[in-house]
Amino acid sequence: MPTFPFEIVSPEKLLFTGEVEAVVVPGMEGEFTVLKDHSPVMSVLKPGIVEIDETAAVKTQLFVRGGFADVSPNGLTILAEYAIPLAELDSARLDADVTAAEADVARAKDDESRRIATEKRDQLIELRGVLKL
């Protein structure tokens, strides 16, 4: 399969850079898979799993908590707010995130920010259910 350049960076470091065949991105409005020559998209990410297929056999899964994906003709760049390999994610970590998200909901001053915060909390709770942690 043809490959394209892909990068995922968090504020702390560059997590992955290289040629890949496909990447599954947890977009705000639904998951999507990016292959070579995908049309340019900019999308906000929801908390979820980014699956990187370097080849059909070599796959990496990363947990991201919010962020941003930029699909351009030069490849895909993900700016993750927070990202770690899925294997390092444990229930304590995720529970802390849910608690933080709940605090955000409580803190929200207007309807718009409350809606965003609630959405994020629900996504985290859903993810926790899916991963069965």
Partner 1 sequence: MASLKDLRNRIASVKATQKITKAMQMVAAAKLRRAQTAAEAARPYAERMEKVIASIAGGLGAGAPAPTLLRGTGYNGVCLLVVCTAERGLCGAFNSSIARLARDRATALMAEGKAVKFLCVGKKGYDILKRQFSSQIIELVELRGIRNLSFENADVIGRKIIDLFEAGEFSVATLFFSRFRSVISQIPTAQQIIPAELPEGAAAHEIVYDFEPEPAELLATLLPRNISVQVFRALLENAASEQGARMSAMDNATRNAGDMIKKQTLTYNRTRQAMITKELIEIISGAEAL
Distance separating alpha carbons of residues 60 and 73, to the nearest angstrom: 23
DSSP state of 2: -
Distance separating alpha carbons of residues 69 and 77, to the nearest angstrom: 6
Residue 30 vs 129, nearer CB to partner 1:
30
CB of 20 to partner 1, least distance (A): 17
Binding site for partner 1 (CB under 8 A): 7, 9-14, 27-29, 39-44, 68, 70, 72-73, 77, 79, 81-82, 109, 116
CB of 59 to partner 1, least distance (A): 24
Q: Beta strands 67-72 and 30-34: pairing type?
A: unpaired
CB of 71 to partner 1, least distance (A): 8
Residue 42 vs 57, nearer CB to partner 1:
42
SS3 track for 61-92: EEEECCEEEEEECCEEEEEECCEEEHHHCCHH
Residue 1 vs 115, nearer CB to partner 1:
115
